[in-house]
Amino acid sequence: MTNAKVRSQADAIRWRHAQSGLVVFTNGVFDLLHPGHVALLEQARANGTALVVGVNSDASVRRLAKGPDRPLVPAGDRARVLAALQSVDCVVVFDDETPLALITALKPDVLVKGADYDVAQIVGAKEVESWNGRVVRVPLVPNQSTTNLIKRLRSAEGGGADG
């Protein structure tokens, strides 16, 4: 049952300590799941034996100024969709603007972000490296972003299709 993969922070910490292999962490909004997200998650999971995904809460997304109508999908629904993916082992919704507190609580062995971030920009990189973990930047899938998807949908509005 995929809902069992969606955990509170306290449950995720207990789950993490029960893992014997390399635990990987990544995070994001994941508002409209697209092939770029799937590629990131699959590559993240390939770097360890378990993948934890931190998902920004609705309030956190609004503070990030992603746009006046974001998030489009509520956090619980975004977490549920991510939990359905085979590559994802645990999903945690966090309310802070960054996942730093979650990262330091979980102490993942590997931290993964898209290659659009320099290592110096990746929240938690310094901390993960301090406990001998590693930071991995994965290449982005060209032309795949939620922002671009929203722009395409808006330009198609009025066409009568509800897809």
> What is the residue extent of each domain of the chain?
2-156
- Give pLDDT < 70 ranges for the chain: 1-2, 141-163
Q: What is the pTM of this model?
A: 0.87
What local confidence, expressed as pLDDT, does residue 1 receive? 43
Per-residue confidence (pLDDT) for residue 53, from 0 to 100? 98
Specify the long-range contacts of residues 112-117, CB closer than 8 Å, at least 24 apart: 112/24, 112/25, 112/26, 112/40, 112/43, 112/44, 112/47, 112/136, 112/137, 112/138, 113/26, 113/27, 113/137, 113/138, 114/40, 114/138, 114/139, 114/140, 115/139, 115/140, 116/140
- The per-residue pLDDT for 146 is 60
Q: Tell me what pLDDT residue 150 has.
A: 59
Domain topology for 2-156: Rossmann fold (3.40.50)
Q: What is the per-residue pLDDT for 9?
A: 96
